Amino acid sequence: MATATSIVRSPAALLSAKVTVSDHKPTPTVQISRFPSKRSCFTALLSSLHDNNNDDDNNNNNVISHPKPLSSSQLFNSVSNGSRLRVAYQGVRGAYSEAAAEKAYPNCEAVPCDQFDSAFQAVEKWLVDRAVLPIENSLGGSIHRNYDLLLRHSLHIVGEVKLAVQHCLLANHGVQLEDLSRVLSHPQALAQCENTLTKIGLSREAVDDTALAAKHVALHKLKDTGAVASSSAAKIYGLNILAQDIQDDCDNVTRFLILAREPIIPGIQNPFKIESRPLRNQPLRAADDNNGSKYFDYLFYVDFEASMAEERAQNALRHLKEFATFLRVLGSYPVDTTMM
């Protein structure tokens, strides 16, 4: 096992990250030893950490420039209840993402998109005002596709939503539990209900979305097939709920990001998180163990508590640039402390 340690220092010693790369598990394990006091948060993207400073990074002492942001008061005073907003989400009506969009903006017009990338594009093309997309689940982990799309697109994170996921077993009216032989749902939903579905004795078939599974069962009036989806999907598609809360773990929470064309600068706290991904579009580097060269280039997505207006946050970003070939601030946003 090869181990490399990279430490980012500032007057407040904002954080230190230990990256361990295993021969069998190339994805690094990151241990956080220190992080700042409670502030607002922003997400920074680090790429290709290296031990030596580059000579061409002479502008590291300059304060990092950002797009002119909207203030939190400007944003939330005008759209605090979600009125006049069109909010994109991935999936069909009844999806958990739709519930997250309506939690973020209760009076919004939720706009379904068939793919995650379509939701990003809808915001960029001014077809909608916001997008609400899942980024991680407490059981299933990070949704790597959306991390990659954050880098590929130029949207800003302006908020987050945490949604408690409560799976239900749905079927057409008149269908009993003993009539079912199979169940449809998203792969993660099926995995999260594995114990319950095994006890019932149902075969599993994966589809792209939980609500899409419910829609399919209802549309084709299937008598031997159920769906794992939300209670709202049952109501929308006229299905009967045979069993509620069938997930194996009751602490099943999905975190969604709210994306917009312009950033904001709030003053609310957020916890610390690091997510790493192999760096695409660059070949893996062969290395000589004797000189300590690295084998992989990685992208690091970092959430940490800081105010973008603080000098120490600017100092931290300036120092991060000394260790990274690329750095981008993805957003500064308030944390969601509620659960639904």
- The one catalytic residue in 256, 300, 304, 323 is 256
Q: Is residue 265 predicted with pLDDT exceeding 80?
A: no
- pLDDT value at 198 more than 70: yes
| Residues 22-41, mean pLDDT to the nearest whole number | 35
Question: Is residue 200 over pLDDT 90?
Answer: yes
Q: Which residue has the higher pLDDT, 204 or 76?
A: 204
Q: Of 274-283, 285-294, 317-326, which one has max mean pLDDT? A: 317-326
Higher pLDDT: 192 or 53? It is 192
CA pair distance 161, 141, nearest whole angstrom: 16
* SS3 of 154-170: CCEEEEEEEEECCCEEE
pLDDT of residue 324: 77
Q: Which helix (H) or strand (E) holds 184?
A: strand 182-185
Options 43, 210, 225, 254, the catalytic residue: 254
Is the pLDDT at 288 greater than 60, yes or no?
Answer: no
Among this protein's residues, is 256 annotated catalytic?
A: yes
Tell me, what amino acid is at 33? S
Q: Is 272 a catalytic residue?
A: no
Supply the pTM of this predicted model: 0.67
Lowest mean pLDDT among 3-7, 144-148, 324-328: 3-7
Given strand 29-32, what is the order of strands in its sheet? 2-8, 15-21, 29-32
Cβ(28)–Cβ(298) under 8 Å? Answer: yes
Contacts of 79 (CB under 8 A, 6+ apart): 85, 105, 129
Would you state the pLDDT for residue 293? Answer: 53
C-alpha closest to that of 295 among 25, 114, 77: 25
Q: What is the pLDDT of residues 80-137, one digit of tens each?
A: 455 579 999 999 999 999 999 999 999 999 999 999 999 999 999 999 999 999 998 8
Domains assigned to the chain: 2-68+267-333 (no CATH), 75-160 (3.40.190.10), 168-244 (3.40.190.10)
Q: Which of 198, 191, 186 is nearest to 227 (CA)?
A: 186
CA 94, 78, 98 angle in degrees (round to 5)? Answer: 10
pLDDT at position 330, please?
Answer: 79
> Rounded CA gap, 253 and 275, in Å?
18
